Amino acid sequence: MPDPAVITVLGVAGSLRKGSYNRALLRAAIELAPSTLRIAAFELDAVPLYNGDVEAAGDPPGVAAFKQAIVAADAVLFVTPEYNHGVPGVMKNAVDWASRPPRGAPLGGKPVGIIGASPGMTGSARGQSQLRQAFEFTDSYCMPQPELLVFRAHEKFDPAGTLTDEATRSYLGRYLVAFEAWVRRLRD
Ligand SMILES: Cc1cc2nc3c(=O)[nH]c(=O)nc-3n(C[C@H](O)[C@H](O)[C@H](O)COP(=O)(O)O)c2cc1C
């Protein structure tokens, strides 16, 4: 039985890289989440490129698992890198699968949050705002504020991928408190 006192969140990082700052940021979110917000990471390795013919024959196992995990969670936290001033294909592809079918899609009516990291000065800002646009079409409830942009990410994580920057840890903690309140407002 789900515990109504706990908000469950599916955490999705849009990078497949072992040393990914965004996957590391998701691990930090799992660590720093309030005790009433439970985040579980979903890895996108098994989600193939979207193909309408494949979809028509039935969702591949990686896609079915992803969509079921979204349905089962109260909310989804997307942790996105920025590629060429936009959302990386890995992340956009996953969102595209989860936006199907158009009526009754797992992302429809789902509370979502966006955070992200990049070694540059903008901390994935443009990737985040492009992703936010996609959630207009999926009819998801994307938390407007606060934002979390982890800029100069290479200075904020140690070589093992632990978020060591105290200010960023503190911002992330406050972001997660706000996200929990956002999800509760929509759920309760
Ligand atoms: C194809 C490509 C395009 C990139 N474009 C941007 C960009 O537009 N803005 C930015 O801040 N970083 C950009 N980067 C750098 C990424 O932010 C950096 O590689 C980051 O570490 C990727 O996220 P990850 O560590 O989670 O894998 C780009 C990297 C790649 C591979």
List, for residues 30-64, the tens digit of each pLDDT value: 999 999 999 999 999 999 999 999 999 999 999 99
| Probe target for ligand 1 pocket from 22, 43, 82, 151, with the most ligand atoms within 8 Å of CB | 82
- Residue having the nearest C-alpha atom to atom 13 of ligand 1: 83
- Quote the crossing angle between the two packed helices 89-98 and 125-137, to the nearest 10°: 20
**For a pocket test of ligand 1, which of 21, 25, 83 has the largest count of ligand atoms closer than 8 A to its C-beta?**
83
Kindly write down the DSSP assignment for every residue of 116-153, as one continuous string.
EE-SSTTTTHHHHHHHHHHHHHTT-EE--S---EE-SG
* Residue located nearest, by CA, to atom 31 of ligand 1: 83
CA distance linking residue 177 with residue 37, whole number of Å: 8
Report strand pairing: 149-150 vs 141-142.
unpaired
Question: What is the chain's length?
Answer: 188
For residue 68, what pLDDT is reported? 98
> How do residues 56-103 score in pLDDT, each as one tens digit?
999 999 999 999 999 999 999 999 999 999 999 999 999 999 999 988
Say how many Å lie between the CA of residue 187 and the centre of ligand 1.
34
Q: pLDDT tens-digit profile of 129-157?
A: 999 999 999 999 999 999 999 999 999 99
pTM for this model (two decimals): 0.98
H or E segment to which residue 9 belongs: strand 7-13
pLDDT level of residue 1 (50, 70, 90 thresholds): low
Give yes or no for a contact between 45 and 76, defined as CB atoms under 8 angstroms apart.
no
**C-beta of residue 75 within 8 angstroms of C-beta of residue 112:** yes
- Of the pLDDT bands very low, low, confident and very high (cuts 50, 70, 90), residue 187 is confident
pLDDT at residue 2 in the model:
72
Instruction: Give me ligand 1 centre to Cα 85, in Å.
Output: 9
* Nearest atom, ligand 1, residue 16 CA: 27
Alpha carbon distance 130, 152 (integer Å): 20
Compute CA distances 148 → 84, 105, 166, whole Å. Answer: 19, 27, 14
Greatest pairwise CA separation for the chain in angstroms: 49
